[in-house]
Structure 1
Amino acid sequence: MRRVVVFGTTGSGKSWLAERLADRTGLRVVELDALFWGRNWQPALPDLFRHRVECETREDGWIVVGNYGQVRDLVWRPADTLVWLDLPLPVVMGRLLRRTVKRAVTREELWGTGNRESLANAFLSRNSILLYALKTHRLNRERFARECEALAGEKRIVRLCSRRDVERFALSPLP
């Protein structure tokens, strides 16, 4: 396990799991959000985003965190292990709500960009991450199922469907 992708719907615990795996393996974590988002929540231009991802995954030994379709070919193709956090919507929404409120209250800066979450944006905006999670959870599950099925036999695919599965995997002996 030298090139790992941790993916799942927003709020599923991707970064948390990636950090645990990095602690155990010594692999470095590559947060796609950090490569995508600029100041004032401005997305990177597609070519720049792809270039950043290519640079970060050029060397062997990484754990990529994220779901960005526009760079999936760059991270899934060389990956040897895909870890899918496929948690139930109530679990995801509970985690996401706690994380969002905590970040908004503490004014935590995200990815060194100066970006911060706010309660107004979380609860009163069309750009709400909570609304986004509600709208994309089922669609992500269907899409990820198709994509993983197409890669079965080519990659090690680990599908984690409960909190207990995630905790066991985070602590289990690694191949």
Structure 2
Amino acid sequence: MPLLGPEDRLPGCPKRILVAGTSGSGKTTLSSRIGALLGIEHVEIDGLYHGPNWTPREQFLFDVTTFSSAPRWVTEWQYRSVRDLLADEADLLVWLDLSRCTVMRQVIVRTVQRRLGRKVLWNGNIEPPLHTFFSDRDHIVRWAWNTHRTSALRIAALRDRRPDLTIVRLRTHADIERWIAGPLQTRA
């Protein structure tokens, strides 16, 4: 199946939806919007993965296996250990292929806002001090920069492995809005 764009008609009404993209691209925001529009539960995968002190939760794989066997859900496509499992269950993948500049602006603003506001994230975690950007090679901002191009590689591999999976590629915020108002809305 060819990659669909923001105005291409979906082949059916999606029930199991993944949103892919670089960290900071807006996966969780879009997943939540899709879930609300279609009346499908949005499972925030970061909440299943991160335990206290940013440690991976032991029951992560079990939790993902459980929700992904349900008939309807939307979540973010991340974490190597469950990517294939989720992709095998999905009937739609939405790829946020935003420019590096856009992603970096978004992830920096989000990180600063979360840290300064001491926003409590999953299982009591908060963003680490901003100066850790310089010392932590896995700091979310550095991670987003360093992994930006890997999304395209993952999508290419997925297309080879699941040629039947519908994939929608959205490259701008305008694309996102056109897709939500057009092809997704007509399937709601």
Shared topology, TM-score over 0.5? yes
Contact 1:4 1:82 in 2 (8 A): yes
**TM-aligned CA deviation for residue 29 of structure 1:** 0.6
CA–CA distance in structure 2, aligned partners of residues 149 and 29 of structure 1: 27
Contact 2:22 2:144 in 1 (8 A): yes
Contact 2:77 2:83 in 1 (8 A): no
Contact 1:29 1:65 in 2 (8 A): no
Query: What is the aligned partner in structure 2 of residue 36 from structure 1?
Result: 49
CA–CA distance in structure 2, aligned partners of residues 125 and 86 of structure 1: 26
Query: What is the aligned partner in structure 2 of residue 50 from structure 1?
Result: 61
Query: What is the aligned partner in structure 1 of residue 28 from structure 2?
Result: 15
Which residue among 116, 139, 151 is the counterpart of 1:140? 151
The CA RMSD over aligned residues, in Å, is 1.6
**TM-aligned CA deviation for residue 146 of structure 1:** 2.8
Query: What is the aligned partner in structure 2 of residue 115 from structure 1?
Result: 125
Query: What is the aligned partner in structure 1 of residue 138 from structure 2?
Result: 127
CA–CA distance in structure 2, aligned partners of residues 115 and 125 of structure 1: 17
Contact 2:77 2:86 in 1 (8 A): no
Query: What is the aligned partner in structure 1 of residue 180 from structure 2?
Result: 170
Structure 2 counterpart SS, 1:77: helix
Which residue among 156, 165, 175 is the counterpart of 2:166? 156
Larger RCO (CA under 8 A, 6+ residues apart): 2
Kindly tell me the number of residue pairs found equivalent between the two proteins: 171
The TM-score normalised by the length of structure 2 is 0.84
CA–CA distance in structure 2, aligned partners of residues 55 and 120 of structure 1: 38
**TM-aligned CA deviation for residue 32 of structure 1:** 1.4
1:69–1:174 Cα change, 3 Å: farther
**1:79 maps to 2:90:** yes
Query: What is the aligned partner in structure 1 of residue 8 from structure 2?
Result: none
Contact 1:3 1:81 in 2 (8 A): yes
Gaps of 5+ in 1: none
**TM-aligned CA deviation for residue 128 of structure 1:** 1.1
**TM-aligned CA deviation for residue 74 of structure 1:** 2.0
In structure 1, give the amino acid aligned to 2:32. E
Gaps of 5+ in 2: 1-13
